[in-house]
Amino acid sequence: MQYQYYITDVFTDKPFNGAQIAVLPQADGLSEAQMQLIAREFNLSETVFIFKPNGTDNRSLRIFSPLREIDFGGHPVIAAAHVMAATGAITLEGGNTEITLRQKAGMVKVNIIRKQDQVTMIQFTMKSHPIVDRFVPMEDQIAEMLSMEEKNIEKEKYHTLMVSCGQPYLIVPVKSYQLVRRAKFNFDAWSQSIAPASLAREILLFSAHSDLPVSNFHARLVGPDIGLHEDPPIGSAMPAFTGYLCAHERIKKGTYTFVIDRGTSATRRSVLNVEMDNNASRENEIRIAGPAVMISKGEITIPG
């Protein structure tokens, strides 16, 4: 059988930037094994499969990396909504159309925003329940696993924390954008620290500085499962990152907005607009928005 697919660049309004996401908008009939094979064939960070409503109006998404199924993905939500809007799979109403998509991690409310008949922004809303652990590797160990000097780790405004919203992240603040870009993951230092015992397989490295004037933060993911020269999408880490920010005492109860970017002008930059409600409790609400650009479409043949 043949299945239509689309390739989108997400969290960018410029082609050949952002994160590449494959979308199969009519995935009914595909088995889990077939979806995994398709994701491996595309070999992108994420491939999202959309299924028709079953008794409700809410479409279901299943998301796969080349290696495994993923319970939550921010980029796939933006990509799926953009493709459905662009192909007429959903009817757009006025300047804002609200839909609900179901992922394995739960329901996600999505707003599709358009101006002059063009979709300009897609925002999704979700609840997060961050679990914060202050038991982290010593700063000299962290510096060694990032191939930098200990003095480059930020210790005043922000602190290193372990935060999980389903998937644990070791979140490490450093003093400059340049340090984020120069960091190199040291597997030997990682394996000899307490980090593996935490089950966190990814470090979200960030700075409160960026080379992009509109950004408040620049971030990058590194870790034992990430290639030395890779710069993976950070959308799935945003629930943990917002929980990280709310764990700092100076972030009082209320609503905050910020812009965070990843990548560089030479390596597919992504720009995420984030709004978070710090409810001073275990539950926060976050809203993540960004544009998307459709790059290509085609058909993939699946043997019967």
Res 72: pLDDT = 84
Burial of 265 (C-beta count, 10 Å sphere; 0-12/13-18/19+)? exposed
* Mean per-residue pLDDT, 268-278: 94
User: In angstroms, rounded to a whole number, what is the distance separating the alpha carbons of residues 181 and 22?
Assistant: 27
Query: What is the predicted pLDDT for the residue at 281?
Result: 66
Buried b (16+ CB within 10 A) or exposed e, 161-191: bbbbbbbbbbbbbbbebebbbebebbeebbe
Token digits for 38? 């398709």
Q: How confident is the model at residue 27 (pLDDT cuts 50, 70, 90)?
A: very high
**What's the gap between Cα 44 and its chain centre?**
14
First to last CA, the chain: 6
Q: What is the predicted pLDDT for the residue at 56?
A: 65
Distance of CA 250 to the CA centre of its chain: 25
Confirm whether 2-125+290-301 and 131-282 share one CATH topology. Answer: yes
Q: Are 290 and 122 in contact (CB under 8 A)?
A: yes
pTM, two decimal places: 0.90
pLDDT at 55: 61
Taking the domains of the chain in order of start, what are their residue ranges?
Answer: 2-125+290-301, 131-282
Whether the predicted pLDDT of 54 surpasses 80: no
Q: Quickly state the pLDDT bin for 104 (edges 50, 70, 90).
A: confident
% pLDDT > 70, the chain: 98
The secondary structure of residue 123, as a DSSP letter, is E
Length of the chain counted residue by residue: 304
Q: Which amino acid is at 219?
A: A
Which superfamily does CATH assign the domain made up of 131-282 to? Diaminopimelate Epimerase; Chain A, domain 1 (3.10.310.10)
Q: What's the rounded Cα separation, in Å, for the pair 153 and 139?
A: 8
Pair of tokens at residue 113: 């925003």
pLDDT band at 124 (very low <50, low <70, confident <90, very high): very high
Reply yes or no on whether the pLDDT at 249 is more than 80.
yes
Please tell me the distance from the alpha carbon of residue 257 to that of residue 278, in angstroms, as a whole number. Answer: 11
Q: What is the mean pLDDT of the chain?
A: 92
Is 185 in contact with 223 (CB distance < 8 Å)?
A: yes
- Would you say residue 35 has pLDDT above 90? yes
CATH superfamily of 2-125+290-301: Diaminopimelate Epimerase; Chain A, domain 1 (3.10.310.10)
Residue 56, Cβ neighbours under 10 Å: how many?
A: 9
Alpha-carbon span 204 to 193, nearest angstrom = 17
Q: CA-to-CA distance for 97 and 111, rounded, in angstroms?
A: 6
Amino acid in the structure at residue 125:
T
Residues in Cβ contact with 133 at an 8 Å cutoff, skipping those fewer than 6 apart: 161, 162, 163, 164, 168, 198
Give residue-wise pLDDT tens across range 178-228.
999 999 999 999 999 888 887 888 999 999 999 999 999 999 999 998 887
